[in-house]
């Protein structure tokens, strides 16, 4: 995990600088001490809740620090339209396809019927093709 902590440290620092934030303002946005923020950028272990706070300050989607520690990329979240409590996040195409496929499989298995494994796979492929035609994936 040492390498992953170093990668997270580099990505956190790059994003902080991209947002034109110093360490103190970033730590304040994350509601944490500047020392804790420095620990992250020094590739040292911190509590899991600290990562959640950092994601908020860096405008990353929840779970982005965990994704980085697993070798994936962080997901940038955008503020949703005014009046909405949501955020909009760009999910990598491959991950969206996997989530859609998993959802189709779960839904198909949840239906009490006679769908075979081959039919479920075909349904999954058709859903992905339809989403592709619509420009979603």
Q: pLDDT tens, 47-84?
A: 988 999 999 899 888 889 998 999 988 888 765 556 65
* Model confidence at 16: pLDDT above 60: yes
pLDDT, residue 99, reads 73
Sequence ranges of the domains in the chain: 2-89, 93-133
In this structure, which topology does domain 2-89 adopt according to CATH? Answer: 434 Repressor (Amino-terminal Domain) (1.10.260)
Give mean pLDDT, residues 10-21. Answer: 95
Distances in Å between the Cα of 59 and the Cα atoms of 33, 51, 124 are 18, 12, 32
Sign of CA dihedral 96, 121, 106, 132: positive
Between CA 96 and CA 40 the distance in angstroms is 29
Output the pTM of the full model.
0.61
């Amino acid at each position: 995990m040492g390498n992953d902590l170093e990668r997270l440290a580099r990505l956190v620092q790059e994003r902080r600088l991209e947002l034109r934030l110093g360490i103190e303002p970033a730590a304040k946005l994350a509601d944490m001490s500047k020392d804790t923020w420095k620990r992250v950028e020094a590739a040292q272990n911190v509590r899991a809740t600290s990562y959640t706070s950092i994601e908020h300050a860096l405008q990353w989607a929840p779970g982005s620090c965990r994704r980085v520690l697993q070798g994936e990329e962080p997901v940038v979240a955008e503020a949703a339209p005014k009046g909405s409590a949501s955020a909009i996040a760009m999910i990598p195409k491959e991950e969206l396809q996997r989530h859609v496929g998993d959802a189709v499989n779960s839904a198909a298995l949840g239906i009490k019927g006679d769908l075979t494994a081959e039919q479920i796979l075909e349904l999954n492929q058709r859903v992905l093709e339809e989403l592709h035609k619509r420009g979603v994936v």
